[in-house]
A and B are shown apart, each in its own frame.
Chain A
Amino acid sequence: MSWVNAIIQGVLVGGLYALFACGLSLMFGVMKVVNLAHGDLAVVAGYVAIGVITVTHIPVLWSFLIVVPVMAVLGYVLQRTILQGALDRSVLATLMVTFGLSVVIENGLLQFFTANTRGIGTGLALVTGSFSIGQIQIGYLPVAIFVTAVVVLLGLQYFLSATRYGRLIRAVADDKEAAQLAGADYRHVFGIAAAVAFGTVALGGIAYGMYAQLAPTTGTDTILLFAFAAVVIGGLGSLWGTLLGGVVLGVAQQIGAQISISDETLAGFIVFLAVLALRPQGLISRGAQS
């Protein structure tokens, strides 16, 4: 029974990983930006949420109504300024710039908020509560996060396939120059894509703050690594691949933890390496999508 439990918990935490991974995948798929600051931005979103909740006293769950737009605007501005500036030079420059951004964010958080860990909404019934099916205990929060991830992916899919800007984002990702010839300013379209990606990362940051604890270093030592692993396992550029990748990673970790609690992270990365070696295009390759 404990194995069934491990698999269920793994699937649910996969939703959290998908929330991190989909923004990373979107930014790489459209702009070819490998955003090494992705995890740190999730942490920033979590801290913003803590600040917003403390200052405005709005209910914890509604904080996303403020945090998501704030992060989206930040995404647009960062893309139009330093990320575009780096893109105009080279792909390597974007790696260096996002790495630098990551270092700056992490140390900025350490400076202002110390190395203490913080949680979001600790004590809420949603965060601590659970229900049981037979002998299996399932927390409300992992279920809520998984459902959020599915809703976000459905929303992204609708946005990309059925809206004007979604179409432009795909067109620009295919061929920037041809899109310009049709009148599209690709830099603005990149900005919109970054805003959407930062919006998803904001949700990921809030969810992580409720699921676990946030510290200034959480972004690089946990979130970014798991996001990368989920993207690679699922298949680069594939939206639903990020959910599949997140779920496979989550299940591998939980099964590893079942064998020995210290093997949790190791098991996840063994699956990651196995996929990289045996199926480098990921479980869902981009060609098979749409």
Chain B
Amino acid sequence: MSGPPNGERPERGTPLVEVHDLVVHHGQLRALDGISFRVFPGEVYAIIGANGAGKSTLLRTIAGLHSPTSGSVLFDGTDVTGLRPERRARQGIAMVPEGRRLFGSLSVEENLQVGAAFAREGPWTIERVYETFDWMRARRNQSAAQLSGGEQQTVAIGRALLANPRVLLLDELSLGLAPVVVQRIYGMLPQILAAGLTVLLVEQDVSQALRVASHIHCLLEGRTTLEGTPASVSADQVEAAYFGLAGAAPDSAPEGSEP
């Protein structure tokens, strides 16, 4: 895994994903309120926060499934804010959506084939997915709907990897899965990241996020409450930022955004 050493953040080159002063509404509700951050190549950037903090909205806006009210999304230095989701996917933004969202009437292999249909050049092939997740080959002709939750999540990850993305967006991998399955799935991350993939993940399970992330970003009700590397933030700070206990950690949570 090409993660950075604890503590220091390698701000090298152009940020791969840059979000600038993003405001997104769901109807009347202001789901995201001026979010800014940068993700550099090779990072595992984790967005944490409670239910309804706006994490999924943020990820979906980066993927193009929501249009922001204002602000912009840059991918490798280029503004992609007005681009449709399929255009962004073909440029190298792949997403494992919340709830897996496999194609239920397609077989496992067909799900993977759809993932590869508009793929960029790159290391991932269906053969390599089968080598990485060895149970999948024997069950490739099974309907995706018949798999267990954890298996479906793995197929969803395989489907996203087959696009040979430059950044992989992971939305709540742990949702609805048994802890032991979550452990196993996060355990696969280093193997997946060997190819120098950048990951932007959203997670409610803070301990899981802190374990894998090179940088964390905490949201509360659509605003940034904490940012830093896992080593640079204390458990108290994270707790305060996560639950919004303003008094618990005075002055430790930078309101607003990126310097």
Interface-lining segment among B35-43, B107-115, B127-135, B224-232: B107-115
Size of interface on A: residues with Cβ below 8 Å to B? 19
Interface presence of A203 (CB below 8 A):
no
Could you pull out 18 A-B pairs where Cβ atoms are within 8 angstroms?
A: A164-B113, A167-B114, A170-B105, A170-B110, A171-B106, A171-B110, A173-B105, A174-B106, A175-B104, A178-B101, A178-B102, A178-B103, A180-B89, A181-B63, A181-B85, A181-B94, A182-B89, A183-B86
Q: How far is the CA of A184 from the CA of B64 in the complex (A)?
A: 13
Q: How far is the CA of A180 from the CA of B110 in the complex (A)?
A: 16
CB contacts (< 8 Å) of B160 on chain A: these are 181-182
| CB < 8 Å neighbour of B113 from A167, A185, A186 | A167
Q: How far is the CA of A290 from the CA of B103 in the complex (A)?
A: 14
Interface presence of A168 (CB below 8 A):
yes
Please list the residues of chain B having a beta carbon within 8 angstroms of any beta carbon in chain A.
63-65, 84-86, 89-90, 94-95, 97, 101-106, 110-111, 113-115, 117-119, 143, 159-160, 163
| CB < 8 Å neighbour of B105 from A164, A174, A179 | A174
CB contacts (< 8 Å) of B64 on chain A: these are 180
Q: A168-B117, A171-B110 are in contact. List 19 more A-B contacts (CB 8 A).
A: A167-B113, A170-B110, A171-B103, A171-B111, A174-B104, A177-B97, A178-B101, A178-B103, A180-B85, A180-B86, A181-B63, A181-B85, A181-B94, A182-B117, A182-B159, A183-B118, A184-B118, A185-B84, A290-B143
Lowest 9 CB-CB distances: which A-B pairs, in order? A183-B118, A183-B89, A178-B101, A174-B103, A180-B85, A171-B103, A183-B90, A171-B114, A185-B86
Question: A171 to nearest B CB, angstroms?
Answer: 5
Question: B137 to nearest A CB, angstroms?
Answer: 19
| CB < 8 Å neighbour of A182 from B65, B84, B105, B163 | B163
A 140-181 binary contact with B (CB < 8 Å = 1; else 0): 000000000000000000000000100110110111011111
Question: B108 to nearest A CB, angstroms?
Answer: 13
CB within 8 Å for A184 and B86 given contacts A167-B113, A174-B103: yes
Closest to A237 in B: B105
A178 near B86 (CB under 8 angstroms)?
no
Question: A181 to nearest B CB, angstroms?
Answer: 5
A167 near B106 (CB under 8 angstroms)?
yes
Q: How far is the CA of A178 from the CA of B90 in the complex (A)?
A: 14
Most buried by A among B63, B65, B117: B117
A175 near B103 (CB under 8 angstroms)?
yes
CB within 8 Å for A183 and B104 given contacts A164-B117, A167-B113: no
CB contacts (< 8 Å) of B90 on chain A: these are 183
CB contacts (< 8 Å) of B94 on chain A: these are 181-182
A290 near B105 (CB under 8 angstroms)?
yes
Q: How far is the CA of A186 from the CA of B163 in the complex (A)?
A: 17
CB contacts (< 8 Å) of A183 on chain B: these are 86, 89-90, 117-119, 163
CB contacts (< 8 Å) of A181 on chain B: these are 63, 65, 85, 89, 94-95, 97, 160
Question: B200 to nearest A CB, angstroms?
Answer: 14
CB contacts (< 8 Å) of B113 on chain A: these are 164, 167
Question: B116 to nearest A CB, angstroms?
Answer: 8
Q: How far is the CA of A266 from the CA of B89 in the complex (A)?
A: 53
| CB < 8 Å neighbour of B65 from A164, A180, A185 | A180
Q: How far is the CA of A179 from the CA of B101 in the complex (A)?
A: 9
Most buried by B among A171, A174, A182: A182
B114 near A184 (CB under 8 angstroms)?
yes
List CB contacts (< 8 Å) of A179-196 with chain B.
Answer: 179-186
CB contacts (< 8 Å) of B143 on chain A: these are 290
Q: How far is the CA of A112 from the CA of B113 in the complex (A)?
A: 48
CB contacts (< 8 Å) of B105 on chain A: these are 170, 173-174, 290
A 182-220 binary contact with B (CB < 8 Å = 1; else 0): 111110000000000000000000000000000000000
B115 near A182 (CB under 8 angstroms)?
yes
A177 near B118 (CB under 8 angstroms)?
no
B117 near A175 (CB under 8 angstroms)?
no
Question: B56 to nearest A CB, angstroms?
Answer: 13
Closest to B60 in A: A177
Q: How far is the CA of A218 from the CA of B195 in the complex (A)?
A: 61
Q: How far is the CA of A183 from the CA of B94 in the complex (A)?
A: 9
CB contacts (< 8 Å) of A171 on chain B: these are 103, 106, 110-111, 114
Question: B112 to nearest A CB, angstroms?
Answer: 10
Q: How far is the CA of A178 from the CA of B85 in the complex (A)?
A: 10
A 57-97 binary contact with B (CB < 8 Å = 1; else 0): 00000000000000000000000000000000000000000
CB contacts (< 8 Å) of B102 on chain A: these are 178
B85 near A168 (CB under 8 angstroms)?
no
A182 near B97 (CB under 8 angstroms)?
no
